[in-house]
Amino acid sequence: FPSQMAEARPILQKIEDAGYEAFFVGGAVRDMILGDTIHDVDIASSAFPQEIKMIFENTVDTGIQHGTVMVLDHHIGYEVTTFRTESTYTDYRRPDEVTFVRSLSEDLKRRDFTINALALKANGEVVDLFDGLTDLKNGLIRAVGNPEERFNEDALRIMRAIRFSAQLDFAIENQTKTALTDLAPNLTKIAVERIQVEFEKMLLSPAASRGLQQALDSHLLAYLPGGVGHWPLTTWQEILTILNRLQISQAAIAWINLLVPSPVKEQDIASFLREWKLSRAVIKTAQALVPILRGKVSLDAWHLYQVEAYQEQLIEGMHSLGFTKDKIELVQQIFEQLPIRNARQMALSGQELMQSGVVKPGPEMGKLLQHLEKAVVTGEIPNQQAALLAYVRQEKRND
Ligand code: ATP
Ligand code: MG
DSSP state of 62: E
pLDDT of residue 86: 80
Residue to substitute in 111, 141, 149, 180 for testing ligand 1 pocket (most ligand atoms within 8 angstroms of CB): 111
Q: Which of 48, 35, 57, 45 is CA-nearest to residue 13?
A: 45
What CATH number is given to the structural domain containing 351? 1.10.246
The answer to whether residue 235 sits within a structural domain is no
Q: How many residues does the structure list for the chain?
A: 399
CB 80 within 8 A of CB 68: yes
Give, to the nearest 10 degrees, the angle between helix 233-245 and helix 311-320: 110
Last residue of a domain, one of 119, 136, 153: 136
CB atoms within 10 A of CB 228: 21
Shared domain check, 121 and 149 = no
Q: Which of 167, 168, 156, 315 is CA-nearest to residue 250?
A: 315
The answer to whether residue 173 sits within a structural domain is yes
pLDDT per residue, tens digit, the chain (399 aa), is 888 899 999 999 999 999 999 999 999 999 999 999 998 899 999 999 999 999 999 999 999 889 999 999 888 999 999 999 987 666 766 666 788 999 999 999 999 999 999 999 999 999 999 999 999 999 999 999 999 999 999 999 999 999 999 999 999 999 999 999 999 999 999 999 999 999 999 999 999 999 999 999 999 999 999 999 999 999 999 999 999 999 999 999 999 999 999 999 999 999 999 999 999 999 999 999 999 999 999 999 999 999 999 999 999 999 999 999 999 999 999 999 999 999 999 999 988 988 888 888 888 888 899 999 999 999 999 999 999 999 998 887 876
Pure H helices in the chain: 3-17, 27-34, 49-55, 104-109, 132-138, 147-153, 156-168, 174-183, 192-203, 208-217, 233-245, 251-259, 269-275, 280-293, 301-306, 311-320, 325-337, 350-355, 363-377, 385-398
Residue 116 Cα to ligand 1 midpoint, Å, equals 7
* 3-state SS assignment for residue 325: helix
Q: Which of 182, 183, 105 is CA-nearest to residue 145?
A: 105
What is the ipTM score, two decimals? 0.98
Shared domain check, 39 and 82 = yes
Shared domain check, 144 and 132 = no
Residue 28 Cα to ligand 2 midpoint, Å, equals 7
Cα 397 from Cα 399, distance rounded (Å): 5
Shared domain check, 157 and 100 = no
Report residue 251: phi and psi, to 5°. -55, -45
Residue to substitute in 116, 159, 194 for testing ligand 1 pocket (most ligand atoms within 8 angstroms of CB): 116
The answer to whether residue 158 sits within a structural domain is yes
Enumerate residues with CB within 5 Å of ligand 2 (an ion). Answer: 27, 40
209 touches ligand 1 (CB under 6 Å):
no
The answer to whether residue 218 sits within a structural domain is yes
pTM score: 0.93
156 touches ligand 1 (CB under 6 Å):
yes
Last residue of a domain, one of 107, 136, 165: 136
Could you say which ligand is closest to the alpha carbon of residue 201? 1
User: Hey, what amino acid is at 149?
Assistant: E
Shared domain check, 330 and 373 = no
The closest-lying atom of ligand 1 relative to the alpha carbon of residue 108 is 20
Last residue of a domain, one of 309, 338, 367: 338
154 touches ligand 1 (CB under 6 Å):
yes
Cα 226 from Cα 71, distance rounded (Å): 41
The answer to whether residue 330 sits within a structural domain is yes
The answer to whether residue 238 sits within a structural domain is no
Shared domain check, 154 and 125 = no
Nearest residue by C-alpha to atom 2 in ligand 1 = 27
Sign, CA dihedral 173-174-179-182, equals: positive
Shared domain check, 252 and 207 = no
Shared domain check, 105 and 165 = no
Rounded to a whole number, what is the largest CA-CA distance in the chain?
A: 92
Shared domain check, 115 and 9 = yes
Q: Which of 108, 94, 106, 86 is CA-nearest to residue 29?
A: 108
C-alpha distance from residue 190 to each of 138, 177, 221 (Å): 30, 19, 14
Shared domain check, 68 and 12 = yes
Shared domain check, 112 and 6 = yes
Q: Which domain covers residue 118, as residue numbers?
A: 1-136
Nearest residue by C-alpha to atom 15 in ligand 1 = 26
Cα 328 from Cα 322, distance rounded (Å): 10
C-alpha distance from residue 252 to each of 163, 199, 236, 329, 342 (Å): 18, 13, 18, 22, 22
Shared domain check, 26 and 82 = yes
Q: What is the residue-wise DSSP string for 199-231? A: HHHHHTSTTHHHHHHHHHHTT-GGGSGGGGGGS
The closest-lying atom of ligand 1 relative to the alpha carbon of residue 156 is 27
What CATH number is given to the structural domain containing 58? 3.30.460.10
Q: How many domains does the chain have?
A: 4
Nearest residue by C-alpha to atom 3 in ligand 1 = 27
Cα 285 from Cα 295, distance rounded (Å): 16
C-alpha distance from residue 40 to each of 27, 31, 169, 328 (Å): 8, 10, 21, 37
The answer to whether residue 234 sits within a structural domain is no
What CATH number is given to the structural domain containing 148? 1.10.110.30
Cα 128 from Cα 131, distance rounded (Å): 6
The answer to whether residue 284 sits within a structural domain is yes
Instruction: Name the helix (H) or strand (E) containing 378.
Output: none
